[in-house]
A and B are shown apart, each in its own frame.
Chain A
Amino acid sequence: MTTTTSTDTLLRLRDLEVRIGDASIVRGVSLDVRRGEVLGLIGPNGAGKSTLLRAATGLLPLTHGTVEVAGAPLTQLDRRARAQAIAVVQQLPEAPPTMRLAELVLLGRNPHLGLLARESAHDYAVAQDSMERAGCADLADRMLGTLSGGQRRRAFIARALAQEAPLLLLDEPTANLDVQAQCEIFELIRALAANGAGVLVVVHDLTLAATYCDRLVLLAAGSVVAQGAPHEVVTSANVARVYGDRVTVINDPSHAAPIVVPARAGDGGNP
């Protein structure tokens, strides 16, 4: 990362706290997502990753702290302006099984359309382009109910691209996918970042996160434990601290990023 100006920071969270009822789910979280980078949000189940993502998009009220999107406070954006600035793909988004893929992608144009507006040729062109970038243009006519898990993920990513928002937030885009599909989805995410998008992605698989993200934020019990380059964050000490000692981190010279593997009880420590 070179030096960054404020316009390069697409998402800026400062000292964020989110309370739900009496419980503080997220606290003291600060992070930046810059143009052209993939920032991975990692941490165990219940660490507050999805809550943080939802707070960053204005779905949950903040107890404390600020969210800025491309320099503007989130609270100053109305729904449509927000949807033009941030595109979100939820973990397992719902959609009618008989909806066609192209129809879903076209819904991504909604932030750009008024109540009485119809999609113009431009909107169709953007949707088409989004499907091509997400690698699902050949499936445009298919019903969502007939798609595989990986194809379905591409469909929703294409819808997010159709929003033409500079910032993409993806909640576990590779959940329930086989390893090949996981790699393909992350290659796609890298390509989007290379085209200038800023991507914040929640990832469960630490090896995958370390392989594909520029920087990582490790969250545990609602707070940031570590953030920085993958090899600085995914360390034996951090992983043991957050995930317990059943997990081993291997720094293999043949692989650029740290590899995290499960270790059965009684197998001993690092090889």
Chain B
Amino acid sequence: MTAPEAIALPRSSARRRGSLGPFAIAWLLLAVVVVLATMLGTTSIPASAVLGAIWNHLPLIGGGVSVEQGWERIVIDVRLPRVVTAGLAGAALASSGAAYQGVFRNPLADPFLLGVASGAALGAALGVVLPIPALGYSAVPVLAFVGAVIAVVLAYTASRTGATVSNTSLILAGVAIAAMAGAATSFILLTSNERALTIFGFLFGSFNAASWPRALTALPYLVVGITVLLVYARVLNVLQLDEEQADQLGVDVSRTRMAVLTAASLTAATAVAMAGVIGFVGLIVPHVVRIVFGVDYRRVLPLSALLGAVFLIAADMLARTVLRPQEVPVGIVTAMVGGPFFLALMRSRLGALR
């Protein structure tokens, strides 16, 4: 192999657009949207105060910037936990969506495919109506998480024959479990009177219960889940071929699928427990990333996480500002704004392939 040939491939193919460019852009976008979303609200706070307040609260190095007391409190105690929660949920939903689409080789797969959303909704509904004084209000996210995990475990168990799980039976089992959990949630809604509104809030997704303790509780699950997904990114590329080819290229398809689905479900369940059922993020963000940056999962997964965070922080910013002081459920914003954008991008892509 001569040197020019050896470098021809990376330059001409997967690394064509440069390996750092997209990530630098994504991090920059994230920084901008974090500051912007923290500035906007009932009281507008200047960017300098936002940055100062954040700097003052950085561990070890931070402190010393004088920021108006009231603004600092709003930034640190009110807006930032909400922005961080939205960012974490967006990263979780988009990366798990990308992983589901990769494992099922189905562009319509989303993080809620295996009953995560309906299981979480049922758990949340139970948390709202059942008196569990020991847990207090935090019963809702905990039970939502438990409900999501139970739904996915049931879907796995029901569709397993021996050591293998077929994609089709997994999806069918997920649909059946979603239908049952959905029916139970509807029944609770019908009989819960004035508490129904709280449950509805969960079903459409919202960040108004965001707090530092909640975000920090969710963090370890998200770190573990997303890290496992990133580890499997290269193998997910092989899985984009059919199962037989992946096997012939040395991939243990069943084990890989299990690992990825477990990590993705954990990640999605955590997001749902934090913020309720927010549709569309896990579907469109990975597709936008694929359309713009190509199909290599080593880009698709991390970029989906970053841009999912950007997208959901921006959507939540709109959700709490467009009808100020009233809030719109963030799930409505993600669909109303993300939908047309996605359709336009898809059309232009179809034109390019033709």
Which residues between 152 and 203 of chain A lie within 8 Å of chain B, taking CB atoms? 163
Query: Once the chains bind, are B13 and A100 in contact (CB under 8 Å)?
Result: yes
CA distance A166 to B8 in the complex (A): 25
Q: Mark B231-256, 1 if CB is under 8 A from A, else 0.
A: 11011011011101101111110000
A107 x B13 contact (CB < 8 A): no
Number of A residues with CB within 8 Å of any CB on chain B = 48
Given known contacts A90-B244, A93-B241, A140 and B296 CB-to-CB distance under 8 angstroms: no
- Which residue of B6, B238, B290, B295 is within 8 Å of A124 (Cβ)? B6
If A79-B247, A107-B237, A111-B249 touch, whether A94 touches B242 (CB-CB below 8 Å) is yes
What CA separation (Å) do A146 and B352 show in the bound complex? 11
Tell yes or no: B353 within 8 A of A by CB: yes
B231 A102 Cβ-Cβ under 8 A: no
- Indicate which residue in B14, B235, B290 contacts A100 across the interface (CB closer than 8 Å): B14
Residues of A within 8 A of B245 (CB): 88, 90, 93-94
The reply on B1 being an interface residue by CB < 8 A is: yes
| Chain B residues with CB under 8 A of A128 | 1, 5-6, 8-9
Q: Does B131 contact A (CB under 8 A)?
A: no
Kindly list chain A residues whose C-beta atoms are within 8 Å of the C-beta of B13. 100-103, 106, 140-141
- Residues in B neighbouring A269, C-beta threshold 8 A: none
Q: With contacts A128-B1, A140-B12 known, is A115 near B235, CB below 8 A?
A: yes
Q: Is the CB of A141 within 8 A of B250?
A: no
Residues of chain B lying within 8 A (CB to CB) of residue A101: 13
Q: Are A79 and B252 neighbours in the complex by a CB distance under 8 Å?
A: yes
Interface pair B240/A110, CB less than 8 Å apart: no
- Minimal Cβ-Cβ distance residue in B for A99: B295
| Bound form: Cα–Cα A95–B237 in Å | 10
Is residue A113 contacting chain B, with contact meaning CB distance below 8 A?
yes
Closest CB in chain A relative to B351 CB, distance in Å: 14
A107 to B234, CA, bound (A): 9
Query: Known contacts A93-B241, A99-B295: does B251 contact A110 (CB below 8 Å)?
Result: yes
Near A by CB (< 8 A), chain B positions 257-316 give: 290, 294-296
Is B16 touching A141 in the complex (CB atoms < 8 A)?
Answer: yes
When distances are taken between beta carbons in the complex, the residues of chain A under 8 Å from B248 are 57, 59, 83, 86-88
B18 at the interface (CB under 8 A from A): no
B46 at the interface (CB under 8 A from A): no
Report how far A82 CA is from B242 CA in the complex, Å.
18
> Is A103 a contact of B295 with CB atoms below 8 Å?
yes
Interface status of A84 (Cβ within 8 A of chain B): yes
A55 CA / B295 CA spacing, docked (Å): 32
A24 to B252, CA, bound (A): 27
What distance in Å separates the Cβ of A209 from its nearest Cβ neighbour in chain B? 23
The residue among B1, B7, B234, B296 with the most chain A CB atoms within 10 A of its own CB is B234
Is residue A127 contacting chain B, with contact meaning CB distance below 8 A?
yes
Q: Could you tell me the distance between the alpha carbons of A93 and B241 in the complex, rounded to whole angstroms?
A: 8
Are A98 and B290 within 8 A (Cβ)?
yes
Q: Does B220 contact A (CB under 8 A)?
A: no
Chain A residues near B63 (CB, 8 Å)?
Answer: none
Interface SS of chain B: helix
Nearest chain B CB to A114's CB is how many angstroms away? Answer: 10
| Chain A residue with the shortest CB-CB distance to B259 | A115
The answer on a CB contact under 8 Å between A127 and B14 is no
Across the interface, B249 reaches (CB within 8 A) one of A54, A98, A108, A129, namely: A108
Residues A129 and B295 in contact in the complex (CB < 8 Å), given A84-B250, A100-B13, A141-B13: no
Q: B352 → chain A, closest Cβ, in Å? A: 10
- Decide yes or no: A115 and B1 within 8 Å by CB, A83-B249, A110-B251 being known contacts: no
If A93-B242, A100-B294, A128-B5 touch, whether A80 touches B14 (CB-CB below 8 Å) is no
Contact B237 A103 (CB under 8 A): yes
Q: Mark B193-208, 1 if CB is under 8 A from A, else 0.
A: 0000000000000000
Verify if A1 is at the interface (C-beta below 8 Å from B).
no
Query: Any chain A CB within 8 A of the CB of B62?
Result: no
Whole-angstrom distance between the Cβ of B82 and the nearest chain A Cβ: 36
How many angstroms from the CA of A129 to the CA of B238 in the assembled complex? 20
Interface centre among A80, A100, A118, by most chain B C-beta atoms within 10 angstroms, is A100
Does A121 sit at the interface, judged by CB under 8 A?
yes
Give the shortest distance, in Å, between A199 (CB) and chain B (any CB).
16
State the CA gap A129–B2 with chains docked (Å).
10
Interface positions of A from 23 to 62, Cβ below 8 Å from B: 54, 57, 59
Q: In the complex, which of the residues B16, B247, B249 has the most CB atoms of chain A within 10 Å of its own CB atom?
A: B249
CB of A96 closer than 8 Å to a CB of B: yes
Report B-chain residues with C-beta under 8 Å of the C-beta of A127: 9
Q: Which B residues contact A (CB, under 8 angstroms)?
A: 1, 5-10, 12-14, 16, 231-232, 234-235, 237-238, 240-242, 244-245, 247-252, 290, 294-296, 353
22 pairs, A vs B, C-beta closer than 8 Å: A79-B251, A86-B248, A88-B248, A93-B241, A97-B353, A102-B9, A103-B13, A103-B294, A103-B296, A106-B9, A107-B249, A108-B249, A110-B234, A110-B251, A115-B232, A117-B234, A121-B6, A128-B1, A128-B5, A128-B9, A129-B5, A140-B8
Give the top 6 A-B pairs by smallest Cβ distance, nearest first.
A102-B13, A83-B250, A111-B250, A80-B250, A125-B1, A125-B6
Binding site for B on A (CB under 8 A): 54, 57, 59, 79-80, 82-84, 86-88, 90, 93-103, 106-108, 110-111, 113, 115-118, 121, 124-125, 127-129, 131-132, 137, 140-141, 143, 145-146, 163
